[in-house]
Amino acid sequence: MTGQAQAIILGIETSCDETAASVVVRDQSGHGTIRSNVVRSQLDEHAAFGGVVPELAARAHVEWLDHIIAQAIEEAGIALRDIDAVAATAGPGLIGGVLVGLTTAKALAASLDKPLIAVNHLEGHALTARLTNGVKFPYLMLLVSGGHSQFVLVRGVGDYERWGGTIDDALGEAFDKVAKLLSLGHPGGPAVERIAREGDPKRFKFPKPLLREERLDFSFSGLKTAVRLQAEALAPLTDQDVADIAASFQETVAQIVGHRARQALEKFAAEFPGEPIRLVVAGGVAANRRIAEALQAPCTAFGAELIVPPIALCTDNGAMIAWAGAERLALEDTDSLAIAARPRWPLQDEDMRVKKHGA
């Protein structure tokens, strides 16, 4: 904001099964500091169902959000009136949860007479590395989570180009479904990685859909089906069978992601000659060590920097929403209280463009 030494932003995130709020301070130089970052997971509420139940998630957000916001404000050592703006996820996500967070943000903005910033959840992920690592534009982002798997060129705030994505299941979703198939519990990513340590990643040769094609898209549905067929063929499964299937699945995914990363880095180098090459990874799957290794290899080969923010900031959290709000507030890009929640909101949508300053 012009002439303002710093901006204090309250960020609210309720797009799935984490109820989160954070206070982030952005100084005039563009440096960010996280003053608080409170996240309440709903794993216990959904554990019996093997996945997130939207109605239960929305109900939990209603029950807990006020408490989470109060805790975030207290931990930041400020009063609610001290904030300069309220940022909240407006989509994409489970619409019931998004409505809870956005409606709460609207009420706060109106009662405090503060600006509202409706944040695209994916933009929160896309800009996190600028908060944690001070990354300069442009850079390449790989978002791998329960709901999204895509390569995105990040040119600037509000200026994104999707280079490739999943044509069916997201990677996190594939991990969850394989974990459910093998009775490993929810969430699937950590469960599969844990049991895979005991398995043989070379025992089963699973397919790598689309890998021979030049496009930067993913397809995990066929891989998931191959895992199911293998499990059915071996039934009843021994503990070693389960570990070997998990390890072989994880290894196949790592090879797919690593191959696509190499292609994406080649494209970035061709389109931005002379620019430093940076690959930012976001989303819960970024915590998987084997996938991180598979991404590091092509980065090393290209002399590219692999940037993985702390895992607490890769998964859904309020700090990424507060920071995206701070970046937009610095460009005087705010929203009307009439803005609607959106279950779908592509990152490259024209609505992402910064309203007052262009792309």
Note the pLDDT of residue 273: 96
State pTM to two decimals: 0.92
pLDDT at 102: 98
For residues 10 and 96, membership in a common domain is answered with: yes
Model confidence over 70-87: pLDDT tens digits?
999 999 999 999 999 999
Same domain assignment for residues 144 and 194 = yes
pLDDT at 43 > cutoff 50:
yes
Residues 50 and 101 reside in one and the same domain = yes
Residue 357 confidence (pLDDT) above 50: no
**Which strands form 18-27's sheet, in the order they lie side by side?**
32-41, 18-27, 6-13, 85-91, 116-120
Q: What is the mean pLDDT of residues 197-201?
A: 98
Mean pLDDT, range 338-353, rounded to an integer: 88
Q: What is the pLDDT of residues 264-316, one digit of tens each?
A: 999 999 999 999 999 999 988 888 999 999 999 999 999 999 999 999 999 99
Distance CA 359, CA 351 (A): 11
pLDDT, mean of residues 114-119: 98
Between 349 and 179, the higher pLDDT residue: 179
Range with lowest mean pLDDT among 33-37, 54-58, 61-65, 255-259: 54-58
pLDDT, mean of residues 52-65:
92
Whether residues 65 and 145 fall in one domain: no
**Domain end: 308, 329, 344, which one?**
308
How many folded domains does the chain comprise?
A: 2
Residue written as token pair 């994916």? 122
Q: Let me know if residue 116 belongs to a domain.
A: yes
Residue 1 within any structural domain of the chain:
no
Neighbouring CB atoms inside 10 A of 132's CB total 19
Do residues 124 and 250 share a domain? Answer: no
Is residue 343 domain-resident? yes
- The three-state secondary structure class of 347 is coil
Higher pLDDT: 349 or 339? It is 339
pLDDT surpassing 90 at residue 145: no
Q: Please indicate, yes or no, whether residues 199 and 266 belong to a single structural domain of this protein.
A: yes
Rounded CA gap, 110 and 230, in Å? Answer: 56
What single-letter amino acid sits at 29? S
Task: Indicate if the pLDDT at residue 183 is higher than 80.
Answer: yes
* pLDDT for residue 347: 87
Residue 351 is predicted with a pLDDT of: 77
- Examine the domain organization and report whether 150 and 103 are in the same domain: no
Shared domain for 319 and 304, answered yes or no, is no
Domain range for 181: 139-308
**Do 220 and 257 fall within a single domain?**
yes
Greatest CA separation for the chain: 68
What mean pLDDT do residues 9-19 have?
96
347 or 234, which is more confident?
234
Question: Side by side, which strands form the sheet with 139-144?
Answer: 159-165, 149-156, 139-144, 278-282, 305-307
Query: What is residue 256's predicted lDDT score, i.e. its pLDDT?
Result: 97
pLDDT given for residue 359 in this prediction: 32
Please compute the mean of the pLDDT values over residues 122-132 and round it to a whole number. 96
The pair of structure tokens assigned to 352 is 């992402």
Statement to judge: residues 86 and 60 lie in one domain: yes
78: in domain: yes
Helix, strand and coil content of the chain, in percent to the nearest 5, comes to 45, 20, 35
Q: In sequence order, what DSSP letters do the residues of 297-329 get, joined into one string?
A: HHHHHHTPEEE---HHHHSS-HHHHHHHHHHHH
236 and 187 together in one domain: yes
Count of residues making up the chain: 359
Unique residue bearing structure tokens 């970035």: 268
On whether residue 264 sits in a domain, the answer given is: yes
- 197: phi > 0 → left, psi -120 to 50 → alpha, else beta; which? alpha
Q: Tell me which of 146 and 158 has the higher pLDDT.
A: 158
Region 206-233: what's the mean pLDDT? 95
* Contact residues for 335 (Cβ-Cβ < 8 A; gap 6+): 90, 115, 116, 117, 118
Q: Find, among 294, 267, 295, the residue nearest to 279 by Cα.
A: 295
Rounded average pLDDT over 53-78: 95
Residue where a domain stops, chosen among 292, 308, 324 = 308
For residue 147, the model assigns a pLDDT of 80
pLDDT at 30 over 70: yes
Looking at the domain assignment, is residue 73 inside a domain?
yes
**One-letter amino acid of 127:** L
Buried b (16+ CB within 10 A) or exposed e, 191-221: bbbebbeebebeebebeebbeeeeebbbbbb
Q: Say yes or no: 254 and 149 in one domain.
A: yes
Q: Residue 356: which pLDDT band, with cuts at 50, 70 and 90?
A: low
Pairing status of strand 149-156 against strand 85-91:
unpaired
Q: CATH no. for residue 243? A: 3.30.420.40
Domain annotation covers residue 358: no
pLDDT level of residue 205 (50, 70, 90 thresholds): very high
CA 71/CA 54 separation, integer angstroms: 25
Does position 233 have pLDDT exceeding 70, yes or no? Answer: yes
Q: Is residue 64 in a domain?
A: yes
- In this predicted structure, the answer to whether residue 355 has a pLDDT above a threshold of 90 is no
